[in-house]
Amino acid sequence: MSASRLPGADARPVVAFSFDGQRIEARAGDTVAMALWAAGQPALRASSRDGAPRGVLCNMGICYECLVVVDGDTVRGCMQVVRDGMDVRRGGKS
């Protein structure tokens, strides 16, 4: 999957966060899930028992498939807006 952004000038400031130690650049107003999708990282969590990769399913806070750990708290990646310097880790089974 090689995702990107819609064309046109983006007036939003760049926001950088870390995903499992990797630097990800996002735009202000992005959610963690969308920033990671745009960065080519759709797998956000390891499923609870099998540890299989899972990513956004509903993108509106219903399915809990995009759970990530942000600064120690388990949150839905599709609802969590990015902040500069945020520490994001893959959620689920480790």
- Least distance to other proteins, CB of residue 85, Å: 18
- Least distance to other proteins, CB of residue 71, Å: 10
Residue 44 CA from chain centroid, whole number: 7
Smallest Cα–Cα separation from 44: which of 36, 22, 61?
Answer: 36
Residue 91 half-sphere exposure toward CB, CA atoms < 13 A: 25
The continuous run of DSSP H or E covering 90 comes out as strand 87-92
Please select the residue that binds other proteins; options are 18, 25, 48, 84, rule is CB under 8 A. Answer: 48
Q: Which amino acid is located at 60 in the chain?
A: M
Binding pattern for the stretch 15-44 against other proteins, x by CB under 8 A and - elsewhere: ------------xxxxx--x--xx---xxx
14 neighbors 26 (Cβ within 8 angstroms): yes
Q: How many residues bind other proteins (CB under 8 A)?
A: 51
Q: Which residues bind other proteins (CB under 8 A)?
A: 1-12, 27-31, 34, 37-38, 42-44, 47-50, 52-65, 67, 72-74, 79, 81, 91-94
